[in-house]
Amino acid sequence: MAGGWLGAALLGLGLCWAPLALEVSVGKAATIFTQNGSDVLLPCHFTACIGFENAQFSWWFQSAQWFESDQLYTGTVRNRNSRPVCKLCNPRVQLPEDILHKDREYNLSIILLSVDFSDSGKYTCFVKNPKEKGAEHNATITLAVVVELEKVDKTLTKIIAAVVGGVIGLLVLILVAKKLILFALKKRKEKTNECLVSSSGNDNTENGLAGSKADQKSAPKA
């Protein structure tokens, strides 16, 4: 049994030292669109299999017009309970006030202030974790600065919602009408049955039918 636990521990340790032990992500969207003159959040999260200590990170910008890269931000993170410490800070870059962390995931997102068209390009987040033999990973996201954000046309969505709502309303109306008709037929049937019962209990004294008073007279004596 001890050997089994030891083998499992060694396997887990081996997985931690795998190339994906340190992983950096900038989210599912490959491109972020933002309006000229606004502030934009550039997301970056990293996870470390065995945790981290004094992790180093940096943000680099490559313009869409030039091939050269500029360093925007460089800092370190002591542990997951501390905020990043800036070493090279661009005055147009700031950290979010509320940095949320999940388990082994740490937030290294930055906010780029007052963007203009020259800020369009690729932004890469680099992370290096000394605790994992200096493992380093990065992830890149593209920023597109536009004059005005495209408004999503919700006309088709509204039409579909209206049609679906109309169909549902019609079905409900049909069900209600069906119940009312069945209820009316039931009441009519009950009334008919009451009439039949009442009619069968009447005296038939004049026509000599079975059950009449004429039949109920005693036979004449011989």
Checking if the pLDDT of 218 tops 90, the result is no
* Residues written for the chain: 222
**pLDDT band at residue 195 using 50, 70 and 90 as cut-offs:** low
Q: What is the dotted CATH code of the domain comprising 20-146?
A: 2.60.40.10
Torsion, Cα of 206, 211, 213, 216 (10° steps): 140
Residue 7 has pLDDT above 60, yes or no: no
Which is nearest to 113 in space by CA: 31, 37, 35?
37
Q: pLDDT (tens digit, 9 = 90+) per residue, 200-213?
A: 555 555 544 454 44
Q: Determine contact, residues 117/143, Cβ cutoff 8 Å.
A: no
Alpha-carbon span 73 to 93, nearest angstrom: 7
Which DSSP helix (H) or strand (E) runs through 166?
helix 155-200
* Residue 47 pLDDT exceeds 70: yes
Q: How many CA within 13 A on the CB side of residue 80?
A: 15
pLDDT over 70 at 11, yes or no:
no
List of residues 6+ apart from 190 with CB closer than 8 A: none
pTM for the whole structure = 0.59
- pLDDT tens by residue, 150-168: 665 556 666 777 778 788 8
